Structure formats: structure tokens, C-alpha cells
Amino acid sequence: MKIMSINAGSSSLKFSLFDMETETSIASGLFERIGIEKSNYKIKYQGTKIEQEVPLETHADAVDILLKKLVELNIIASLDEIDAIGHRVAHGGDLYKSSVLITEKVVDDLVNLKDFAPLHNPAHVLGIRAFQQALPNVPMTIVPDTAFHQTMDEVTYMYPVPYEWYSEYKVRKYGAHGTSHRYIAETLAEKLGRNDLRIINCHLGNGGSITAIKDGKCVDTSMGFTPLAGIMMGTRSGDIDPSIIPYVMEKEGKNASEIISDLNKKSGFLGLSCYSSDARDILDGVSKGLEKCYLAQEKFVRTVVNYIASYYVLLGGCDILCFTAGIGENSIPFRMKIVEKLACLGIKLDVDRNNTRDLDMFKISSDDSSVDVYVVATNEELLIARDTLELIS
């Protein structure tokens, strides 16, 4: 059984093809700069990597080349080997509480939800249409990134704003990175043999979010109506006082969408450090004595620790604190700085364990820590493929 996970962005298309008997990726890759000049693709398979610049006017062009290459490179003998395709979707609103098989209604819903994810949902629809055209008989699913967070209760997802903003315009907390948070929750439950865990999961990448999970279900998450809310990120501000927006609009003669763009693309590590959006560069800057890099580093740690502390209280304690994604899986110094700040909760790091590299799951807390701290490598693509397999079975 072979299943492909797809993540279609506005100018990109990422894929992973899984052999579901072994849950291993047979091939993966990325088509970039679709619709713009210098479009190209990269495919990795059996220890080999190919890269080529090629004109890609539409997502359909990318899908055409992808399917041809899978056969040409002998990754599969024929397209009949692709049993199903799962599409990652950024926003399922409050309509989708789990992954579902794609029907025309599902595509219509994604189109109607475009106000919530204007860059992403229309791109997902392009990806879905391109595959429907190329492989009309292959079943397909959507795996919404918001679905896992649909178990949040009303007190959690409502904002204290005029009620009509919710009843008329659906203003509420939706969260994001749900597929990653669910993958971590399911992996911890399976590996530790327990379904009753209180988990605080820190997905710290270029985008970042923290989720409080109880008995495998999301209780609260740091991202909000959009993925701009929550902790400080690579280029995103995270939570700020909304009054800043009209104030800076007036000072700089900008409109609201220009300021939102600044908050999404010029803030976070990049904004504070005036140096880089990349966590490695920030650490590098700190070691060179750059004060703004130090400020950015400390502010990031502070926002993460604040969320962990508030979720510790919300969950009435915590069994597992987990780190995942680019920074969470790889940054030994950032993990150390965060865990050190949690000493008052009895959470203790084991410095040697924290130095572990290249494992999918490892513990980094000391044996006398009040909470077990783990690093788990996330694998959203595999979860998409698993959901898809379950839905077609």
C-alpha cells in the first residue's frame, strides 16, 4: 500500500510517498516557485537527490512532472501503485474536527474558508484539483491543521470581544500545527504505553506553537484566530497589544494589511534582533556579543516559558514536556535555556541527555525531575498518510 502526502502552498508543492507496510518514506520532494521564474524541483529517493530548474506555470505542471518522475526514476512501476493521496490543509474552520475523504462539498468548504487562510486554502484547492485531474480514480483526503484543536472548550476558544464577532464572523481561536501536535501526542502515548498523559508540547520551528494536551486531546493552544498569535516566532510577533496596530498605522502612514504583514514577516527574531529570523544565527549573534540578538533570544525563551507555565496550571500539573520541530528537535542551547527557567516547578534538565542528536525520540530531563522532558521528531506527513489509510480502509 502506497500513500502520498501533499502540502500545496501558493507557489510550492511538497510531497512524501510512503510505503504504509513499513511506514517509511520511499520518496519526497519539493516543487518551488510555481508560476514565477526559476521554478524548480528536488526529489529525494533511495539515498539519491535530483534537482532541476524547469518551467512550472501551474500546480498541474508540477503534478505532471512529479507523476512522470516517480515512474521514470523507478520509484514506482506505474501510477496504479499510488493507492491514495492525503492533502494537508491549513484551515478547516469549525467544520472539520478530523480528516475526511474529499468530495465536491469538501472542496467548496475549503474555498468558503479562504478568509481564514487567504494564502493557503486557495493553494490547497489548486493542489487537489491538479491531482484530481491527473489521477481521477485515486481516493483523496484532507487533513486540516486546525482539526486537532477542535476539542478546545468554549471558554478557551472564545475571545472576550463583542459576541457578534463570533456569531456573525466566526472570530474565535482555531489554532494551527494541529497535525504536528497530534503526531507528538499519539507517539508519546504509544511509546510510553499511556493514554492518560498531560502533555505540554512545544512545536518550535520558524513558526511556533505550544499546545496543552490531556488524554490525547487538545485543551488549549497558543496560536489563535490566525497563526500570528502566541509565542514569538522567526518573523512573527506572537501576542501583542492590538492598540499598537492603529498607532503604528498612523505613525507610518500604512494600512492595516501592511502592518499585519510587518507583524507576520518582519517581527519575531528578525524584528527584535535586526539580524536574522533563524535561531542558529541568533545564537551566533549572541556569541559575537550582539546585544539585540541577546534580547531576541531572551524574549523568545520568555514567551515560551510563559505559555508552558500557564498550561502547567491549566492541566493541573504535567506528565510530559515535549520539544519538537526545527528549534525543538535540534537546538541544544534553546532547550537548555527554556528548561532552566522551569526550575521552580521542579523540572530539571540532564545536560548530557540534552546533548543527544539524531534520534527520533529521547528524554532530556534528569531522573529526579518532576516532569519528564522529551524531544520527539515530528512527522506531519506520516500522520497525513496514516489518516488517509484509515479513511480508505
Return d(Cα 283, Cα 10) in angstroms, integer: 31
Q: Is 205 in the site for ligand AMP (CB under 6 A)?
A: yes
Handedness of CA 27, 33, 35, 37 (dihedral sign): negative
Q: Mark the segment that binds ligand AMP (CB under 6 A) among 69-77, 287-295, 325-333, 347-355.
A: 325-333
Q: CB atoms < 10 A from the CB of 247, how many?
A: 12
Say which of 61, 109, 145, 220 is annotated catalytic: 145
Q: Is 271 in the site for ligand AMP (CB under 6 A)?
A: no
Nearer to ligand AMP, 34 or 279 (CB): 279
Give the residue carrying C-alpha cell 462539498. Answer: 105
Nearer to ligand AMP, 99 or 330 (CB): 330
For the bound state, the minimum distance from the C-beta of residue 338 to ligand AMP, rounded and expressed in Å, comes to 13
Q: Is 12 in the site for ligand AMP (CB under 6 A)?
A: no
Strand order in the sheet with 82-89: 48-53, 40-45, 24-32, 13-19, 2-8, 82-89, 140-144, 100-101
DSSP 303-318: HHHHHHHHHHHHTTS-
> Which residues, 227 to 246, sit near ligand AMP by CB under 6 A?
234
Taking CB under 6 A as the criterion, the residue among 13, 279, 371, 382 binding ligand AMP is: 279
Return d(Cα 9, Cα 86) in angstroms, integer: 14
Taking CB under 6 A as the criterion, the residue among 97, 114, 254, 280 binding ligand AMP is: 280
How do beta strands 320-324 and 372-376 pair? parallel
Q: Is 144 in the site for ligand AMP (CB under 6 A)?
A: no
- Does 94 participate in catalysis according to the annotation? no
Taking CB under 6 A as the criterion, the residue among 126, 315, 325, 382 binding ligand AMP is: 325
Q: Is 301 in the site for ligand AMP (CB under 6 A)?
A: no
Q: Which residues are within 8 A (CB) of 102 and not within 5 positions of it... i.e. 6 or more apart?
A: 87, 128, 132, 139, 140, 141, 142
Q: Is 206 in the site for ligand AMP (CB under 6 A)?
A: yes
Residue nearest to ligand AMP as judged by C-beta position: 326
Taking CB under 6 A as the criterion, the residue among 56, 125, 326, 388 binding ligand AMP is: 326
Q: How far is CA 53 from CA 39, 41, 62, 275, in A?
A: 6, 7, 12, 30
Catalytic residue ranges: 145
